[in-house]
């Protein structure tokens, strides 16, 4: 195994940052802050614990609905019927959030999206569940299958609404991953999450996401609140060319939720930045080739390499290229040869595939004979 290690000096606008590391603490019971582009965690507090997610779990209901809009099986102007069950279980009489649907209403899919993401309507969620899967119970099965597909390891669903149920739980990590999927997969539909109010049946309700009113660039996603879950928030905001996603649960009041969410988001934008360490196709190193028409092959990365780094750690970046050599020909361009490992201050390294930059053909029988002779006479290069 060959190891090539080298350091990087990271510059931003010509100035290297060496600020003192600033620790962050939050009163939230569980919390995560994720960089959208890199998927790296800037802050984590009990993020894999499966806890009651309250209405934040409505994001899975929305994800399934938007997936069907994206694949063309459902359209925004399609209408769904409101059953007595949806009206009874999700209506105002239950004490939960409602869109104020009436039995027999034919509601457009677009209005139901707004009723869920802006008004947090339990009735809207049940209508979606029944019209997609036939019943809320069958829709919960679909939610669990979708969670498996997305790699959500600490989530289980029993309903479409997030109303209290012993088998209905999610982790902050899973909610952040789900939010990232919603933002990336549905760019044409994501704007609904940033709308501040919606009127249905002549009843206007405002979006409960506090960051939409207090933080520039905030554009989603979903609040939640039950006695067991506390006050919760799944939020996203953009500043410059960066987007962060945060999820928090277990706070004691709406005021605390608003303050803690803004503090965590502001801290993330202030203390971290994204650095492009390598460009797609950039030569990283070379590897010796055995039985090849070329003695060496250039090794590169197949995509831009972006890393989220605390601004106090920019002088602690270590990059190691690891691969076995010589590499036996034939070699195809794009073939994985090894790994590029990037670590910051002894943290868990980011691993990127090192690939061949070009084809290297295999020599003929005579060429292989002379290669063997050179090896026995001179040894490996």
How many domains is the chain built from?
2
Question: What sign results for the dihedral spanned by CA atoms 38, 44, 50, 55?
Answer: negative
Comparing 87-96, 134-143, 247-256, which segment has the lowest mean pLDDT? 87-96
Is residue 23 domain-resident? no
Q: What CATH number is attached to the domain comprising 234?
A: 3.40.710.10
> Strands (DSSP E) along 36-172, which ranges?
41-45, 79-81, 106-108
Indicate whether 7 and 138 sit together in one domain: no
Indicate whether 282 and 225 sit together in one domain: no
Is the model's pLDDT at 15 over the cut of 90? no
Indicate whether 201 and 120 sit together in one domain: yes
CB of 130 closer than 8 Å to CB of 160: no
| Residues noted as catalytic | 55, 58, 120
Is residue 99 domain-resident? yes
Is residue 347 domain-resident? yes
Q: Which class for 99: exposed (0-12), middle (13-18), buried (19 or more C-beta within 10 A)?
A: buried
Q: What CATH number is attached to the domain comprising 293?
A: 2.60.410.10
Residue ending a domain, among 190, 218, 251, is 251
Comparing 188-192, 286-290, 360-364, which segment has the lowest mean pLDDT? 360-364
What digits encode the pLDDT tens for the residues 120-130? Answer: 999 999 999 99
pLDDT class of 331 with cuts at 50, 70, 90: very high
pLDDT value at position 17? 40
Indicate whether 217 and 337 sit together in one domain: no
Q: What is the DSSP letter of 281?
A: T
Indicate whether 8 and 51 sit together in one domain: no
Is the model's pLDDT at 302 over the cut of 60? yes
- Of 170, 154, 163, 158, the residue nearest 51 (C-alpha): 170
pLDDT value at position 231? 98
Is residue 22 domain-resident? no
Comparing 12-16, 21-25, 66-70, 370-374, which segment has the lowest mean pLDDT? 12-16
Is the model's pLDDT at 379 over the cut of 90? no
Indicate whether 230 and 322 sit together in one domain: no
Indicate whether 92 and 193 sit together in one domain: yes
362/234: higher pLDDT: 234
Residue ending a domain, among 251, 286, 315, is 251
pLDDT value at position 167? 96
pLDDT value at position 335? 95
pLDDT value at position 215? 97
Measured CA to CA, the distance from residue 304 to residue 364 in angstroms comes to: 36
Indicate whether 60 and 176 sit together in one domain: yes
What digits encode the pLDDT tens for the residues 214-233? Answer: 999 999 999 999 999 999 99
What digits encode the pLDDT tens for the residues 247-284? Answer: 999 999 999 999 999 999 999 999 999 999 999 999 99
Average pLDDT rounded to a whole number, residues 94-115: 94
Q: Which domain holds residue 123?
A: 30-251
Comparing 36-45, 156-165, 204-213, 343-352, which segment has the lowest mean pLDDT? 343-352
Average pLDDT rounded to a whole number, residues 27-36: 98
Indicate whether 76 and 202 sit together in one domain: yes
Residue ending a domain, among 185, 218, 251, is 251
Is residue 356 domain-resident? yes
The per-residue pLDDT of the chain, averaged, comes to 91
Indicate whether 247 and 348 sit together in one domain: no
pLDDT value at position 139? 98
CB of 109 closer than 8 Å to CB of 80: yes
Indicate whether 163 and 219 sit together in one domain: yes
pLDDT value at position 19? 41
In the three-class reduction of DSSP (H, G, I as helix; E, B as strand; rest coil), residue 57 is classed as: helix
Indicate whether 8 and 40 sit together in one domain: no
Is the model's pLDDT at 195 over the cut of 60? yes
Is residue 17 domain-resident? no
pLDDT class of 362 with cuts at 50, 70, 90: confident
Is residue 270 domain-resident? no
Is residue 262 domain-resident? no
């Amino acid at each position: 195994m060959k190891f090539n290690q080298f350091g990087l000096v990271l510059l931003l606008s010509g100035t290297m940052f060496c600020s003192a590391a600033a620790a962050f603490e939050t009163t939230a019971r569980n919390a995560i802050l994720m960089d959208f582009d890199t998927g790296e965690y800037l802050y984590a507090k009990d993020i894999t614990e499966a806890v009651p997610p309250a209405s934040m779990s409505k994001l899975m209901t929305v994800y399934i609905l938007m997936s069907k809009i994206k694949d063309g099986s459902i359209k925004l102007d399609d209408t769904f019927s409101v059953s007595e069950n949806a009206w009874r279980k999700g209506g105002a009489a239950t004490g939960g959030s409602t869109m104020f649907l009436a039995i027999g209403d034919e509601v457009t899919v677009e209005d139901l999206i707004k009723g869920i993401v802006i008004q947090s309507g339990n009735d809207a969620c049940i209508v979606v569940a029944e019209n997609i899967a036939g019943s809320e119970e069958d829709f919960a099965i679909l939610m669990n299958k979708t969670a498996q597909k997305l790699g959500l390891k600490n989530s289980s669903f029993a309903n479409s609404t997030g109303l209290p149920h012993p088998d209905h739980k999610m982790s902050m990590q899973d909610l952040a991953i789900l939010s990232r999927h919603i933002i990336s997969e549905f760019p044409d539909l994501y704007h609904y999450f940033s709308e501040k109010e919606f009127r249905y049946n002549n009843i206007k309700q405002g979006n409960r996401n506090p960051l939409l009113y207090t933080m520039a660039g905030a554009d989603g996603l979903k609040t939640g609140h039950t006695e067991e879950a506390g006050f919760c928030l799944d939020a996203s905001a953009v500043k410059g060319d960066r987007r962060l996603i945060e999820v928090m649960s277990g706070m004691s009041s709406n005021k605390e939720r608003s303050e803690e969410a803004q503090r965590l988001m502001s801290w993330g934008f202030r203390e971290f930045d994204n650095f492009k360490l390598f460009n797609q196709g950039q030569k990283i190193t070379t590897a010796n080739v055995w039985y090849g028409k070329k003695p060496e092959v250039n090794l590169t990365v197949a995509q831009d390499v972006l890393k989220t780094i605390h601004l106090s750690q920019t002088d602690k970046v270590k990059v190691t290229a690891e691969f076995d050599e010589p590499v036996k020909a034939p070699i195809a361009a794009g073939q994985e040869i090894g790994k590029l490992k990037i670590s910051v201050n002894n943290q868990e390294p980011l691993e990127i595939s090192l690939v061949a930059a070009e084809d290297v053909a295999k020599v003929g029988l005579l060429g292989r004979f002379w290669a063997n002779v050179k090896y026995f006479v001179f040894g490996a290069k």
